[in-house]
Amino acid sequence: MVDVPVGEDDGGGLEPVLPDQLLDAVGGLVARVDDHALLTRGGGDQVAIGPPGPCGEPGNEHVRPQIVGGGFGSYETTGAAGPIANQLGPDRVALSYTVRLTGPRDRAGPAHRIAPHIGRHSGERLRADARTGGRSVASRDQRRRQLARQKFERQQQRRAERRARVRRRNAVIAAVVAVAVAGGGAAWASMALTGDDKGSPGANGAPSDSATPSASPTSKAPDPCDEPAKGSPAKKTWKKEPALTVDKQAKYTMALETTCGKVTLSLDAAKAPRTVNSFAFLAQHKFFDHTKCHRLVTGSIHVLQCGDPTGTGSGGPGYTIPDENLSDPLVKDKVYPAGTVAMANQYDAQKNTGRNTGGSQFFLVFKDSPLPPDYTPFGRITGGMDVLEKVAGAGTATGTPDGPPNATVVIDRATVVKG
């Protein structure tokens, strides 16, 4: 550390400055040494801190010490060395110096640094802090504002990214829900038309009591049908499809005596001979007698499904028959019109499995229903449409658009006659 004189330009060199005056600045009474406040004399307004020039002249730069700490004791400052003309301009020079001030209030304590103010010879001031390598207070303020602005921009960017993620997530959820609804509608429609599953009830979408909704309706419509006749469904099954004995040129009529009224069907042996042959065989063995129509659908499609002796949607005769008449103009527009009689099966369009799985379950269409031509149409309803409408009007036992009928629909007796 080098002790240097502190004083003012008096036209002939440096003169000492009283310690108490500098200590006023140290004590906080004066924020910094001012060239118009400390020991100014006529014509002398250049307070300098530093060694004189070769001929005793003062330095060209105004250097005003700025107190960087509080308290009393020894005070010293160290300035940054070397020219910084590239920062301050061609006519500005940074001086390297160390100042040590001692006075009457000198007591043991931490050293304090005095930051210089460096200006031009004309008196222009440029504040520099030795602790920051000569950066100005304004630069620090700008840097703080810049950091705050950058932080704000990062926060805004993170918020925007979060909002974008939320929008993408909501879009994905909406798409999944839409697909689920669409798929559910198709599965729902198909579910009402499957049957004769040899696995567990409800497997492969087969309707069953366990697969139906269990919610209870708030109000239940009265049962419009009578008590079923005494008796129980047959339990006999067969391993093979019966031999074809029907006359393809003849007309066949099937009569269903139900607890809700009589329904008559005209069967088309010419277009679906194996299906009509199977129904004639099963009716002859009283397979349909005392069986319950186990499912009513009144949503996107409108059908009553019957023909399962177990009443669960999983029963059948033990054998299967092939699909027939799927290219009939009646269903070419993917609509099964009201009055259609068609076979239920285990076909799964998504997996393309379950073709030729018809058995004994069939459905009666009482209102036009959009369906793909995957279910063998083999007849028409010729009487008893009012019976079906009465059953549909009573709704389902669960109060949902797909479930067991609220009406007790039981086929007391089924017959198939030729002619």
Domains of the chain: 1-135 (no CATH), 192-418 (2.40.100.10)
How much is the average pLDDT of 318-336? 96
C-beta separation of 298 from 309 below 8 A: no
- Return the pLDDT at 419: 87
In this predicted structure, the answer to whether residue 350 has a pLDDT above a threshold of 90 is: yes
Share of the chain above pLDDT 90, in %: 50
- Return the pLDDT at 53: 54
Share of the chain above pLDDT 70, in %: 56
Neighbours of 41 (CB within 10 A): 11
- Return the pLDDT at 329: 95
pLDDT tens digits along 33-73: 333 333 333 444 444 444 455 555 544 444 444 444 444 33
- pTM for the model stands at 0.54
pLDDT tens digits along 125-159: 444 444 444 455 568 888 888 999 899 999 999 99
Confidence tier at 119 by pLDDT (50, 70, 90): very low
pLDDT tens digits along 254-296: 999 999 999 999 999 999 999 999 999 999 999 999 999 999 9
pLDDT tens digits along 290-315: 999 999 999 999 999 999 999 999 99
Distance of CA 279 to the CA centre of its chain: 51
